[in-house]
Amino acid sequence: MMSKYLTPFAVLSGQFRGSIVRRWAIGEQKSAADTAQILTDHARRLNLVSRDMAVPGTALSEWNKRKQPPLWASLAAFDLILKRGWQPETHEDWAGFASLLFKLTPDVKLDNLGEFLPEGIDPHKASGWIAAAIEEDHHYRARKKLAAKDDDFH
């Protein structure tokens, strides 16, 4: 997707998604290979991947260097870092938190937010960011649908 179509929310959440695997991996204090194994195992438990073998540690290092991990890795790292007690602080953190929480638990809505929020997360603050994530998802799907129609037209 070209950057001219990205909203400020998408930019912030994309920056967060690009760094979440690195943030989580730093806290593990293990080798890249061991960290990759933990991440892959957790992604498998969340049904994000079906691979039997872990990604190589070098792949994990490369994703972190380029700040472009695959979505499954970002979601698994996000879930793991939440289990560690991490909480969003900056606007980038909040945008990434809302975006990845919405992707990880698509049933999250503003009226059932309390069921999905980790302990210690301010529900009032989170609700605004979750609303932005939901809106961003709707806009993304609408743009994608329009692009498909435009491709069909040409």
pLDDT, tens only, 76-113: 999 999 999 999 999 999 999 999 999 998 888 888 88
Rounded Cα gap, residues 28 and 75, in angstroms: 16
Mean pLDDT score of the chain, rounded to an integer? Answer: 90
Alpha-carbon torsion (93, 40, 26, 62), positive or negative: negative
Please tell me the distance from the alpha carbon of residue 133 to that of residue 144, in angstroms, as a whole number.
16
Mean pLDDT computed over 2-13: 81
Sorted by where each begins, the domain ranges of the chain are: 8-153
The answer to whether 129 and 97 are in contact (CB under 8 A) is yes
Q: Is the pLDDT of residue 4 over 70?
A: no
SS (H, E, C) the chain: CCHHHCCHHHHHHHHHHHHHHHHHHHHHCCCHHHHHHHHHHHHHHCCCCCCCCCCCHHHHHHHHHHCCCCHHHHHHHHHHHHHCCCCCCCHHHHHHHHHHHHHHCCCCCHHHHHHCCCCCCCHHHHHHHHHHHHHHHHHHHHHHHHHHHHHHHC
Rounded CA gap, 86 and 82, in Å?
A: 5
- 40-66: b or e for each residue (b if 16 or more CB lie within 10 Å)? bebbbeeebbeeeebbebeebbebbee
For 65-74, the pLDDT digits (tens) are 999 999 999 9
